[in-house]
Amino acid sequence: MKDTATIRKMIEELKGLKTQNMYLNDFFHTWKESDDEISATFAVAEILRAMREQNISSKVFDSGLGISIFRDNSTRTRFSFASACNMLGLEVQDLDEKTSQIAHGETVRETANMVSFMADVIGIRDDMYIGKGHAYMKEVAHAVQEGYDDGVLEQRPTLVNLQCDIDHPTQSMADLLHVINHFGGVENLKGKKVAMTWAYSPSYGKPLSVPQGVIGLFTRFGMDVVLAHPEGYNVMPEIEEVAAENARKSGGSYTRVNSMAEAFKDADIVYPKSWAPFAVMEERTQLVGDGKFDELKDLEKRCLLNNAKFKDWECTEELMATTNGGKALYMHCLPADISGVSCKEGEVAASVFERYRVPLYKEASYKPYIIAAMIFLAKFRNPADKLSELVEAAQKRII
């Protein structure tokens, strides 16, 4: 546990980072953020966590709402967002689209304003359809900016991407903060091998944003990132370009292979996880858009049949043994498809999952702090000063 002196030192270090562009801005994709901005997000997350451990209040809002818009069911993300808002003093209000009948277009503009009169942040998860999620978030951001400029809204709510079709920044940032802590500092990541690999799951159509988020972020830290998947399970080519460019700049590498074994060989970190091929996701979006639900069922059947060819893409003890010292850090965004536990054949062997249960939960535990940090940095021009104020005021979270 970090004491107050350590927290003060962390705040001091934060001062060296340029975060002005985050102020009154949104957080969509990690690759749109500068290195300083990424570092600052980690720093603020760690400071907020240390403050909470020391029972120091991080309440910066006396009142205000955090609006959550989830376009499909979600427990984990819902609670992470609620936790982040609560920690800062915002009350969560869920916008349930099933009851409120929001659609795209003009209606987005109207609803975004109607729910934002007291909103300081809007968190959106919309990951189901390629080409839609990010577009929707941009629409909402544009709408509330207009509302603010026109004097309709007293404040400009900041948007946090809680998962879109392209990136899953709160996940990948929590993942990486876990990695940083696991390896004892960001300076120790250079040269580490990361295997982001596809794995078999009995369900089809899992979003691409997790692997894309990981390759788009992990490549910035000088690591050797390998993406492995069966033929046809490609991710979005634009994001592979981002990853390659990142690797070039950071002195790491980005490669793609078609074998789980090759990816695992000597890896320091493994992230085996199912996803749908980009091309399938595109077809699916088209079919849903056209209301062709019979064809949709056919697509699902075809996909599951194809998936079934790759049941051997499972994170087994044998594969784990081939990693660096047999001790790679196993990662997952949870929930995992565990063979013999949550399904007959899945992404990971039960014994592997069980061995990494505590690290997996720790990985997840960073997410509320990452979200809170994103909000914090969007709300304060001088985040270090505000954190100092909080630490010196030392208001107790529990009296």
- Candidates 133-141, 150-158, 236-244, 282-290: pick the segment binding a second copy (CB under 8 A): 150-158
> Is 118 a residue that touches a second copy (CB under 8 A)?
yes
Q: Least CB distance from residue 25 to a second copy, whole Å?
A: 16
Q: How would you label 60-80 residue by residue, b for 16+ Cβ within 10 Å and e otherwise?
A: bbeebbbbbbbbeebeebbeb
> Is 5 a residue that touches a second copy (CB under 8 A)?
no
Question: ω into residue 335 within 30 of 0, thus cis?
Answer: yes
> Is 238 a residue that touches a second copy (CB under 8 A)?
no
Site for a second copy (CB under 8 A): which residue of 29, 126, 137, 147?
Answer: 147
Separation CA 153–CA 3 (nearest Å): 40
Q: Which two tokens stand for residue 42?
A: 């980690």
Residue pair 121/156 in contact (Cβ under 8 Å)? The answer is: no
Separation CA 154–CA 125 (nearest Å): 25
Q: Least CB distance from residue 377 to a second copy, whole Å?
A: 14
Return the C-alpha torsion angle 210, 215, 220, 222, nearest 10. 130
Residue pair 143/114 in contact (Cβ under 8 Å)? The answer is: no
Q: Least CB distance from residue 100 to a second copy, whole Å?
A: 4
Contacting a second copy within 326-355 (CB under 8 A): 334-335, 338, 341-342
Site for a second copy (CB under 8 A): which residue of 26, 46, 120, 175?
Answer: 120
In the complex with a second copy, the residue whose CB is nearer, 293 or 361, is 361
Handedness of CA 195, 200, 201, 207 (dihedral sign): positive
Site for a second copy (CB under 8 A): which residue of 8, 23, 36, 61?
Answer: 61
Question: ω into residue 202 within 30 of 0, thus cis?
Answer: no
Contacting a second copy within 81-110 (CB under 8 A): 82-83, 86-87, 89, 91-93, 95, 99-102, 106-107, 110
Q: Is 150 helix (H, G, I), strand (E, B) or coil?
A: coil
> Is 114 a residue that touches a second copy (CB under 8 A)?
yes
> Is 318 a residue that touches a second copy (CB under 8 A)?
no
Separation CA 124–CA 108 (nearest Å): 13
What does the binding site for a second copy look like in residue numbers (CB under 8 A)?
Answer: 49, 52-53, 57-65, 73, 75-76, 78-80, 82-83, 86-87, 89, 91-93, 95, 99-102, 106-107, 110-111, 113-115, 117-118, 120, 147, 150-154, 334-335, 338, 341-342, 358, 361-362, 364-365, 367-368, 379, 386, 389-390, 395-399
